[in-house]
Chain A
């Protein structure tokens, strides 16, 4: 394990070379040599790179590039994970130092950081230098505002490309009649971090329009740590269908997992359910450009028990607005890997444009 790497407190003005972007905003991807391929690159990173490679921002000339990407997969930095790539440091050392330039103008993608038990180590086990990090599960403590980019967590089978920007939508009347006010089906952890909310949502469960079911089953050793409720919980858990709940709930609980972000967030949005985020200090995806107040409800972890009251007191009009905004945000920025990848660039380009505009103004 690497010793703790102190990350420089960067801003766009001291860690980004705007001059590289003054004429054009091209994206360069560092070559990936065979010798660094320990294992096949993750599907998700391949897809992201593929998108950039095929986009019209791409250039194979580092000299004309504005934004630089690494050819090596940095998405999974959990040292216990199977997909953890050990030789990132070697890879970076092998790069042309003038191009790497201590990470300046680089964008590093990351979905998982830290490891059991506290997942608290936010450094990626390699020196990111002055690079921007686009990451899921950003927390207020490690996220550099207007420099890093907060990413949503998505599966590798998230659609790569959807041309249509408007998804099919049900009639409002049908939407109004969703069977469940709020639902949650997921794991709770009998030990370790991230269990707080998940362990108490069973209080909210009424088996009717509020469905909160959890299972203790996770890893192989859960039985060692199981509590009195596990058996009851597991039985109830099996009675409900995950997708059915998403499709038929007005609100869907999105509590933190081991890490702050979860796949559930995007899944919830996709199924037209309004996310109720319970994940203290999480920086929501693309929060730099998306106003999530209109598309999601954020509840502090300590207020989890008053969620039914909160939701039941939310007017139909507000619910309608939330639903529509959530739909729109998803369709606009999150519906496919392409859209997500593009939006990352757009956020950075917007910063560049703002800066240039500002300078012009002066």
Chain B
């Protein structure tokens, strides 16, 4: 409380009274001083006091508050210590929190992607809901039956029918009838019986009694049916019948009405004959012309041979003796162009020309060609009026070699497809009829898959896949939409008109109604913004990679793809392959073809976001890879080996590329054909020109699986099966043959094999030997090597493009 002053009183030795008085005085002064210090603070005292040393802080109340400096300091120290302690504790806590925060920070990008994916899923689901609502409003009902027009009154039977409608009663041929056909013979010769068998084998919807049929085929040797009724075909194996009042459609060489079929069926080969290869181009003669009988002076023809040309022009005047079939074929086979005159021999020579690769030059505008209202013979022949005969050599010599080879190729193809044997002709006739009557064929489930697990396609037990896929290195690959199948049988009727040309002349497959169409028409791209056309479209918002990854976009409605995995031995490898496909966007289904027929599969397989279906097959056959299983419900098929190691983004890129190139094989490692010495070799070297894509990882349209299994020459499949190799070469040959386009290579990948996978078919030493051999064989079968070269590869638009900060690439690596 008080300040101890350093002043001390000095006492000398006075009397006791004086001492007492002095002590009293001292105390009084001291008291006054103390009092002053405490309450009045006279300036002189404070100043004086500060000059003194402060011995005890607890005695110094600087602000007269009742609290000494010491007390205040101690309080402050205590508070400081308390705060410091808390600070230390907080530091530890901050460290802990920072660790947690770092962890969370790390998760943010992934969580954002997850969120984005979920949002995409929600959006997709909502869109699908909308679309389902839309389709629910469509009323589906069976069509009414066609009208039955009472013709008896309208048209007396004596009057010649002059159009198809006059002889067809459509009421027997509803569009949903699948065209029931009845077939019988009127005359019972050997030929008629053989044809009867052929038809019975070929007719898809054969009926036993005529009254159930839409079409009745009567096979006859030159004799008309006694009681001709509507809807009948007179299939004439004899000499042409001349009866223009007939209510039958006549199939014969001549004496033809507009709705008859001009085919001389007797010249259709019983068995396929070998055809001449397209190359070499050059033939001994430029032109051959066989003149059988003519009203014109023969010299009008023979002068032609004197015309200047690089190769001989051979004109032969035939009589029965000097023109045997062999002689004619020899002449046709040694010429580049075969001038054909209307005659009894026309049809025979025409077929021979196609077989032997001589371009038919038809010297008549009226000569009818088989199925000419459906088959565009202009692609394989050249028609001239007879009057232009003197000019004809000039015309044909002006043709480009490539055009001549193309005409030769197409002629061969028409022949092979429609006319090469009796079965093909019968099929063509039926196809032509259903085109005229516009009747789809029954859905033929020719490839009904057999489930691997008793009655189930899917594995009895599933294992959880922990792979957090879909985010390929922080890039969202696409929304996980619910499964959607490609629309099937959508062209049942446009096939007959809009696509008729394509079906007969390009796809060359008019015999069955198609599940899908490879190059169907596309809407204008702005259609995705119109209320009534936007259904199914997934427009891409304006922006770069981030927006791109959120929607499929492109020129068509959204679609998905099916993975077809061929597997044999390696269960662990297959499991890995399945797991890599987990959460892959746009994937509709995985089909595993269990080629190991001798072994039952394990019960447990990874369960993915989409079904994994296992198919049991009868034999271990590499062709099983390309069976158009009914379980494949999308147009896009991703053919995969079980040991490939593709990034998901590579698959998505390839899918997007394929969507714009649906008639091509789109895949990864490329191979090519090259010639060493005088032979063709299969080649897998790094090269800048390729002609094949390995089908161990390639997108292929389902229609090409059908073509592979049913339309490709059977010898090729047989060869593939016998040597257990070359199915990919065969598929490349087939697609290039049908489209005359090379496959498309995407990404920089050159091999597919995962580094850890060991056992492989391709380790075999004879592998390459077999493949060289396959190429040579297939070339021989097709008559040419259909492979085409390609010198570019497809990458995403912004691949390797420098981008501003706020933009994202389409994919991270591709």
Give A contacts to B, CB under 8 Å.
Answer: 200, 202-204, 206, 210, 228, 305, 308-309, 311-317, 319
Q: Which of A203, A314, A316, A319 contacts B79 (CB 8 A)?
A: A203
Chain B contacts with A in 63-99, Cβ cutoff 8 A: 63-67, 71-72, 75-76, 78-79, 82-83, 86, 89
A85 and B54 alpha carbons, distance in the complex (Å): 66
CB neighbours of B66 from chain A (8 A): 316
Selected A-B contacts with CB under 8 Å, 30 pairs: A203-B79, A203-B82, A203-B86, A204-B79, A206-B75, A210-B75, A228-B89, A305-B83, A308-B72, A308-B75, A308-B76, A308-B79, A309-B72, A309-B75, A309-B76, A311-B65, A312-B65, A312-B71, A312-B72, A312-B75, A313-B62, A313-B63, A313-B65, A313-B67, A313-B72, A314-B65, A315-B64, A315-B65, A316-B65, A316-B66
For residue A200, which residues in chain B have a CB less than 8 angstroms away from its CB?
A: 83
A237 to B237, CA, bound (A): 116
Query: Is B83 a contact partner of A203 (Cβ separation < 8 A)?
Result: yes
Residues of A within 8 A of B72 (CB): 308-309, 312-313
Q: Is the CB of A317 within 8 A of B64?
A: yes
- How far does the Cβ of B1 sit from chain A's closest Cβ, in whole Å? 13
Most buried by B among A202, A228, A315: A315
- What CA separation (Å) do A203 and B81 show in the bound complex? 9
Q: Please report the C-alpha to C-alpha distance between residue A315 and residue B66 in the assembled complex, in whole angstroms.
A: 8
B65 touching A319 by the CB < 8 A rule? yes
17 new A-B contacts at CB < 8 Å, known A203-B86, A308-B76, A312-B72: A203-B79, A203-B83, A206-B75, A206-B78, A210-B75, A308-B72, A308-B75, A308-B79, A311-B65, A312-B63, A312-B67, A313-B65, A313-B72, A314-B63, A315-B64, A315-B65, A316-B64
**A228 vs B89: C-alpha distance in the bound complex, in angstroms?**
10
The chain B residue sitting closest to A314, CB to CB, is: B65
Give the distance in Å from the alpha carbon of A317 to the alpha carbon of B64 in the complex: 8
* A202 CB, nearest partner CB in chain B, Å: 8
The CA-CA distance from A305 to B75 in the complex, in Å, is 11
Residues of B near A210 (CB, < 8 A) are 75
Q: Closest approach, in angstroms, between the C-beta of B77 and any C-beta of chain A?
A: 11
Classify chain B: how many residues form its interface, as a range: 10 to 19
CB-CB under 8 A from A312, the residues of chain B are 63, 65, 67, 71-72, 75
Near A by CB (< 8 A), chain B positions 320-334 give: none
Chain A residue nearest in CB terms to B78: A206
Give the docked Cα–Cα distance between A309 and B69 (Å): 10
State the CA gap A317–B41 with chains docked (Å): 13
Name the residue on B nearest A308 (C-beta).
Answer: B75
Q: Which residues of A contact B79 (CB under 8 A)?
A: 203-204, 305, 308
Task: Write out the residue numbers on chain A whose beta carbons fall within 8 Å of the beta carbon of B83.
Answer: 200, 203, 305
Provide the residues of chain B in CB contact with A309, threshold 8 Å.
72, 75-76
Nearest-CB residue, chain B, relative to A205: B82
Task: Report B58 CB to chain A, min CB distance, Å.
Answer: 13
Cα distance, A210 to B82, chains bound together (Å): 14
Q: Which residue of A lies closest to B86 (CB)?
A: A203
A311–B86 alpha-carbon span in the complex (Å):
24
- A307's nearest neighbour on chain B, judged by CB, is B79
Considering the complex, give the chain A residue whose CB is closest to the CB of B76: A309
How distant is B223 from chain A, measured CB to nearest CB, in Å?
96
Within the complex, what minimum Cβ distance (angstroms) separates A226 from chain B? Answer: 14
Please give me the 4 A-B residue pairs with the lowest Cβ-Cβ distance, nearest first.
Answer: A312-B67, A203-B82, A313-B63, A315-B64
Complex CA distance for A40 and B10, rounded to whole angstroms? 85
Residues of chain A within 8 A of B82, CB atoms compared: 202-203
Residues from chain A with a CB closer than 8 A to the CB of B67 are 312-313
Nearest A-chain residue to B93, judged by Cβ: A228
Q: Chain A residues with Cβ under 8 A from B71's Cβ?
A: 312
CA distance A315 to B83 in the complex (A): 27
Residue of A with least CB distance to B75:
A308
The complex places the Cα of A312 from the Cα of B74 at a distance, in Å, of 12
Complex: how many Å from CA A309 to CA B86? 20
A107 vs B143: C-alpha distance in the bound complex, in angstroms?
80
The B142-184 residues at the A interface (CB cut-off 8 A) are none
Residues on the A chain within 8 Å of B65, using CB: 311-316, 319
Complex CA gap A319/B72 in Å reads 17
Q: In the complex, A154→B63 CA distance in Å?
A: 35
**A204 to B65, alpha carbons, bound, how many Å?**
18
CA distance A313 to B76 in the complex (A): 12
Give chain A residues whose Cβ lies under 8 Å from the Cβ of B78.
Answer: 206
Output the least CB separation between A155 and chain B (Å). Answer: 33
- For window 339-367 of B, CB contacts with A under 8 Å fall at none
How many whole Å from B138's CB to the nearest CB in chain A? 45
Q: How far is the CA of A87 from the CA of B581 in the complex (A)?
A: 60
**B750 to chain A: closest CB distance in Å?**
59
Contact A315 B86 (CB under 8 A): no
Interfacial chain B residues near A317, Cβ < 8 Å: 64
Bound CA–CA A203/B79 (angstroms): 5
The smallest C-beta distance from B65 to any residue of chain A, in angstroms, reads 5
Chain A residue at minimum C-beta to C-beta distance from B83: A203
Complexed CA–CA distance, A309 and B71 (Å): 10
Bound state CA distance, A24 and B559, in angstroms? 84
Q: In the assembly, what is the distance between CA of A206 and CA of B78, in Å?
A: 8
| Docked complex Cα distance between A206 and B74 (Å) | 11
**Complex alpha-carbon distance, A305 and B86, angstroms:** 13
Q: How far is the CB of A253 from chain B (nearest CB, A)?
A: 14
